[in-house]
Amino acid sequence: MEIWVDADACPGVIREIIAKAAHKRAISATFVANHSFSLPKSPYVRLYQVPSGFDEADKEIERRVNEGDLVITADIPLASDVLERAAVVLTPRGERYTENNIKQRLQMRDFMETMRSSGEHTGGPSALSLTDRKNFSDQLDRLLTRTKRASK
The per-residue pLDDT for range 40-83, each reduced to its tens digit, is 999 999 999 999 988 899 999 999 999 999 999 998 999 999 99
Whole-prediction pTM value? 0.85
Range of the domain at 82: 3-150
CATH number of the domain where residue 141 is located: 3.40.50
Mean pLDDT of 86-108: 87
Answer whether residue 152 shows pLDDT above 70.
Answer: no
Q: Mean of the per-residue pLDDT values for the chain?
A: 89
The total of structural domains in the chain comes to 1
pLDDT higher for 101 or 30? 30
pLDDT given at position 108 = 73
| Structure confidence by residue, pLDDT tens digits, 98-129 | 988 777 776 776 666 776 677 766 666 678 99
Q: In what order do the strands lie in the sheet with 96-97?
A: 45-49, 29-33, 3-6, 70-72, 88-90, 96-97
Q: What is residue 127's DSSP assignment? A: P
The alpha-helical segments, DSSP class H, found in the chain are 12-25, 56-64, 76-83, 102-117, 130-150
pLDDT given at position 111 = 63
- DSSP letters, 15-29, are HHHHHHHHHHHT--E
Cβ-count burial 115-129 (b if 16+ within 10 Å, e if not)? eeeeeeeeeeeeeee
